[in-house]
Amino acid sequence: MPFVTTPDGVEIYYTEQGTGQPVVFSHGWPLSSDAWQVELKKFADAGYRAIAHDRRGHGRSEKTYSGNDMDTYCRDLNAVVEALDLRDIILIGHSTGGGEVVRYAAQYGQPQGRVAKVVTAGAVPPIMVKSDANPDGLPIEVFDGIRAGVLSDASQFWKDLSESFFGANHGRDVSQGAKDDFWRQGMLVNLAAAYDCVKAFSETDFTEDLKALTVPILICQGDDDQIVPIKDAALKSIKLVKDGTLKVYEGAPHGIQGDYQQKLDADILEWIKN
């Protein structure tokens, strides 16, 4: 299997398909590059070099106890990009991965001249947790509850979370297979990495990263996202970027699945061509 070694010695797994302009996908928590299997084929079929990596501690990457924070995730992504010498990159990130690609683009990709465009879907920026500076955010108790669930019975927690992740609890048609695959990917993540990543996706402030972006960004989100509320995410992020396009999907959940996935992929392919 292909791996890249980060500056601090961690083995990061990646997969790629196709040739052409590179499209780099960054997955959400607690998933892996497997979450992008459909997109890897679709984008490769469309003439792109589609690449996805497993974040440290997730999937087939090294099971890490340390470095499970957003700055380190971005350094890891930079290690992959440099090892493959990628240029003119389209960055696509979902959920936690949306935060990762925004920070990577602002702090690495743009200064190095490597990034052409950014796409986020259900992404965590600007910041999720409630504070005096972010009174509309989710209370810290929400994230404490997630940590407690991961620590006490991760297997059952992933099963329960799949219901709201894909919107099955709101009546969306979600197969048992999709829920099972969410559970499978969740069970691959190292417990320490899963636990620490909650702080990374909920407490990292991406405000300045969004403001620093000069490349075009497509910000996508479902208006029935139960994991990352759209009013605290896409609707705020679009006001902070210089060259942004907002796409809201009526009734769509957090998880990229079903008709939402089909529409989202088609819209992204169309947007990056223009």
Query: Annotated active-site positions, please?
Result: 95, 225, 254
Residue 113 φ/ψ region, left for φ over 0, alpha for ψ in the -120 to 50 degree band, beta for the rest: left
Question: Token pair of 34, please?
Answer: 């497997």
Joined together, the tokens standing for residue 173 give 């048609």
Under DSSP, the state recorded for 189 is: S
Beta bridge partners, 115, equal 89
Cβ–Cβ < 8 Å for 110, 102: no
Q: Which residues contact 208 (CB under 8 A, 6 or more apart)?
A: 106
Hey, what are 220's tokens? Answer: 């996508």
E strands within the chain? 3-5, 11-17, 22-26, 49-53, 89-94, 115-121, 217-222, 244-249
Instruction: Give Cα separations from 8 to 60, 62, 64 (angstroms).
Output: 17, 12, 11
CA dihedral 234, 237, 242, 247 (to 10 degrees): 0
